[in-house]
Amino acid sequence: MPIAPEHLALLYTGPFDAYLYGRNSRDPKMKGSSVDDQMHEGREICNDNGWPIKREFTDVGRSASRYAKRERKEFEEMIAGIEAGDCRILVAWEASRYYRDLEVYVRLRNVCMQAGVLLCYNGTVYDLSKRADRKATAQDALQAEDEAEGIRDRNLRTARLNAKAGMPHGRILWGYARRYDPDTGDLVEQYPHPERAAVVTSIFERIAAGETEYSILQTLRAKGDRLPGLRWENHHLRSMLRNPSYKGSRVFQGAELGEAKWPGLVDAETYEAVQAIIKRPERRTMGSSEIVHLLSGLSRCGECPTAPPLRVLKCRGYKAYQCSEKFDTVMREEKLDAYVEEAVIEWLQSKAPAAAFASEDGQRKVEAARLRHAQMQAQLDEARAKAAKFGPDGKPKLSIESLAALETSLLPLIEEARAQAGVLVGVPPVLRGIIGRSDVDAIWHNMSLEQRRSVLRTVVDIRLMKARAQGVRTIEPGRIRLTFVGEPGFIGWRPGPVLRRLADEPETESR
């Protein structure tokens, strides 16, 4: 029976002097490097099992007829060596290397059988003096004609060797470019693509900063196609964000094999931060492409007592927000979006948010700091005035030394109080840098959909009411009820329907 190379020494006595045989691939895409790969793999098998390499035979350019003569010579030399008992085992790449045709196989079989030489290929050792092994190799010889299968195996092995050596293999990774040797066609290096590499880096950084795949996808699409004629899709991002090759690790069949020969586009820290984010369960359930509307799920039906969220539905050819429960309220998407955005921008520009977010306790502290600041400032002003005034004795009413001492102790305290007095207490992070600015409009338009939604979620409660009558196109007063944070009746956002009835809502009789 065929045996594994590592068991050979248990069943046979050595030494196992080896012949290595490599042959150029017929696959034109493999270029000239595969003979080296074969020899490399063969040497590895020999070294792993302690088989001394007696001689190496490499055939190159098999397909070119002018080499055919030389190749035959190499092959004949190998046969002669085997016959002479120069080796104990013949290590080759795969069956198809030996028997491109059955005639060659029969010759090789007979010579190995007579000389008692073992045959090793495809990671298995065959003893051709045994019937079962002859049968197995004969089958392999027949199958060797199945060129496609042979090439598939070979490519897999090449991929594994490349991965081991830290070289890239397979399709080029988006964000990189490759340089090939103009003569041999061999891959020389994989390097960051002059334009695309920065895109990859920013995608990782934006995810690490908390942005969603969806919003990144929007930006990418706005900038252009991923490849000419192929737009960016969510799955591109998904596989990119999970690919350790981008931090400069080589990967083979899902396993990281260490440092690659190409530079990473993302540092390991950012990469790990991204892994932690994309593995969060809520991220998986909340499909990143689900949210495409500003107010879906954030606005609620004002007619139903449980205030179910509005969902976007196609309605007579246009998209509209609708009550997700009774479908009793409906408004065109752009209309509701525009109304809410305008109102929220106006509110953000007003003084209302600062007041809303200063908690009572915080407000008291701010007030106290303002008072303290004013008192100390007055004290210092008074001292300075005194120091500038001179008494009848011709001396300043306050000595320069005293003023200096007072300034030294007061100035830091004044500075501290000023800082405390100016602080907005309890402003959620999402609103920092927005509140109280006069250019909220511009800021808003530069925000991503996600950022806008988090602002809305934080500051406003949106209820859609029924229209007075069918066909009323304008937004009549009371049609959209906005309750901002700090106003009575504001309910913070939470998913699903609001089960608690609002205090100011009229009681609805249950029947």
383 belongs to the binding site for Zn ion (CB under 5 A): no
Q: Which stretch binds Zn ion (CB under 5 A): 269-277, 302-310, 429-437, 457-465?
A: 302-310
Side chain identity, residue 343: A
Token pair in block for residue 376? 């100390």
Work out how close the CB of 502 gets to Zn ion at its nearest, in angstroms, rounded to a whole number. 14
323 belongs to the binding site for Zn ion (CB under 5 A): yes
Tell me phi and psi for residue 66, to 5 degrees.
-70, -15
The DSSP code for 364 is H
Given 304, 387, 455, 498, the residue binding Zn ion (CB under 5 A): 304
Given 86, 267, 328, 441, the residue binding Zn ion (CB under 5 A): 328
Say if CB 126 and CB 139 are below 8 A apart.
Answer: no
What H or E segment, with its residue span, contains residue 222? helix 213-223
Identity of the residue, 253 or 470, whose beta carbon is nearer to Zn ion in the bound complex = 470
In terms of Cα–Cα distance, which of 134, 119, 122, 110 is closest to 87? 119
Identity of the residue, 335 or 466, whose beta carbon is nearer to Zn ion in the bound complex = 466
Identity of the residue, 2 or 305, whose beta carbon is nearer to Zn ion in the bound complex = 305
Identity of the residue, 284 or 326, whose beta carbon is nearer to Zn ion in the bound complex = 326
Please give the residues from 253 up to 272 whose contact with Zn ion meets the rule CB under 5 A.
none
Work out how close the CB of 331 gets to Zn ion at its nearest, in angstroms, rounded to a whole number. 12
Identity of the residue, 323 or 340, whose beta carbon is nearer to Zn ion in the bound complex = 323
Upper half-sphere CA count for residue 100 (Cβ side, 13 Å): 9
Q: Which stretch binds Zn ion (CB under 5 A): 42-50, 63-71, 135-143, 297-305?
A: 297-305
Work out how close the CB of 327 gets to Zn ion at its nearest, in angstroms, rounded to a whole number. 7
Work out how close the CB of 323 gets to Zn ion at its nearest, in angstroms, rounded to a whole number. 3
Decide: residue 327, CB within 10 A, 0-12 exposed, 13-18 middle, 19+ buried.
middle
Query: In whole angstroms, what is the distance from residue 406 CA to residue 418 CA?
Result: 18
466 belongs to the binding site for Zn ion (CB under 5 A): no
Token pair in block for residue 75? 């092959």
User: Binding residues for Zn ion, how many (CB under 5 A)?
Assistant: 6
Q: Which stretch binds Zn ion (CB under 5 A): 74-82, 267-275, 325-333, 472-480?
A: 325-333
**For Zn ion, what does the binding mask look like between residues 341 and 370, x meaning CB under 5 A?**
------------------------------
Helix boundaries (H) for 54-146? 65-83, 95-98, 102-115, 131-143
Q: Which stretch binds Zn ion (CB under 5 A): 47-55, 248-256, 323-331, 416-424?
A: 323-331
Work out how close the CB of 499 gets to Zn ion at its nearest, in angstroms, rounded to a whole number. 14
Work out how close the CB of 496 gets to Zn ion at its nearest, in angstroms, rounded to a whole number. 14
Neighbours of 359 (CB within 10 A): 12
301 belongs to the binding site for Zn ion (CB under 5 A): yes
Which letter, b or e, does each residue of 483-498 get, where b requires 16 or more Cβ atoms within 10 Å of its Cβ?
Answer: bbbeeeeeeebeeebb
Q: Which stretch binds Zn ion (CB under 5 A): 3-11, 41-49, 251-259, 328-336?
A: 328-336
Identity of the residue, 281 or 478, whose beta carbon is nearer to Zn ion in the bound complex = 478
Identity of the residue, 133 or 325, whose beta carbon is nearer to Zn ion in the bound complex = 325
Token pair in block for residue 272? 């790990």
Work out how close the CB of 475 gets to Zn ion at its nearest, in angstroms, rounded to a whole number. 18
Work out how close the CB of 508 gets to Zn ion at its nearest, in angstroms, rounded to a whole number. 12
Identity of the residue, 27 or 303, whose beta carbon is nearer to Zn ion in the bound complex = 303
- In which residue are the tokens 């079962």 written? 132
326 belongs to the binding site for Zn ion (CB under 5 A): yes
Work out how close the CB of 324 gets to Zn ion at its nearest, in angstroms, rounded to a whole number. 8
Residues ≥6 apart with Cβ < 8 Å to 465: 302, 303, 329, 478, 479, 480, 481
Identity of the residue, 62 or 335, whose beta carbon is nearer to Zn ion in the bound complex = 335
Identity of the residue, 5 or 308, whose beta carbon is nearer to Zn ion in the bound complex = 308
Taken in order 480, 484, 489, 491, the sign of the CA dihedral is positive
* Radius of gyration over every alpha carbon of the chain, rounded to an integer in angstroms: 39
What H or E segment, with its residue span, contains residue 406? helix 400-422
Say if CB 132 and CB 3 are below 8 A apart.
Answer: no
Taken in order 187, 189, 190, 193, the sign of the CA dihedral is negative
Decide: residue 154, CB within 10 A, 0-12 exposed, 13-18 middle, 19+ buried.
buried
Q: Which stretch binds Zn ion (CB under 5 A): 327-335, 436-444, 446-454, 496-504?
A: 327-335
Identity of the residue, 248 or 309, whose beta carbon is nearer to Zn ion in the bound complex = 309
Identity of the residue, 56 or 303, whose beta carbon is nearer to Zn ion in the bound complex = 303
Can you give the binding site for Zn ion, defined by CB under 5 A? 301, 303-304, 323, 326, 328
